[in-house]
């Protein structure tokens, strides 16, 4: 439990200190890139994709377990499973869209 509390403390400190660190920057020169934004966007997209993979794995496992317990209900389980998978994937696509809009 100490590891989780230490990780939480580090994340909280990073979120408190980061705005002050970036507030001191000047306007970007015409040829200057925003490397920190691209790095942050790639981390954000990676976290979204990781969460999507976990969510879709749980949805698929639950649907297959339900079908294995009651094979007659396969048709009634399949459609809600596909709908749930589409909702989870849509969240990742919205994250990708927000990142593209922010960086444009």
pLDDT top residue among 80 and 31: 80
In a domain? residue 97? yes
How high is the pLDDT of residue 44? 85
The CA distance from 91 to 18, in Å, is: 26
Q: Tell me, what CATH number does 79's domain have?
A: 1.20.20.10
In a domain? residue 23? no
What is the pLDDT averaged over residues 34-50?
A: 83
Give Cβ neighbours of residue 63 (< 8 Å, ≥ 6 apart). Answer: 77, 78, 81
Q: How many domains does the chain have?
A: 1
Asked whether the predicted pLDDT for residue 86 surpasses 80, the reply is yes
How high is the pLDDT of residue 30? 59
In a domain? residue 53? yes
In a domain? residue 89? yes
How high is the pLDDT of residue 21? 62
Comparing CA positions, the residue from 58, 62, 98 lying closest to residue 77 is: 62
Predicted model pTM: 0.63
């Amino acid at each position: 439990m100490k590891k989780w509390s230490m990780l939480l403390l580090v994340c909280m400190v990073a979120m408190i200190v980061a705005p002050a660190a970036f507030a001191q920057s000047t306007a970007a020169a015409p040829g200057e890139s925003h490397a920190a934004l691209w790095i942050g966007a790639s981390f954000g997209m990676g976290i979204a994709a990781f969460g999507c993979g976990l969510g879709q794995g749980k949805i698929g496992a639950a649907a297959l377990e339900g079908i294995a317990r009651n094979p007659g209900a396969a048709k009634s389980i399949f459609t809600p499973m596909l709908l749930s998978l589409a909702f989870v994937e849509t969240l990742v696509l919205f994250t990708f869209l927000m990142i593209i809009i922010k960086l444009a």
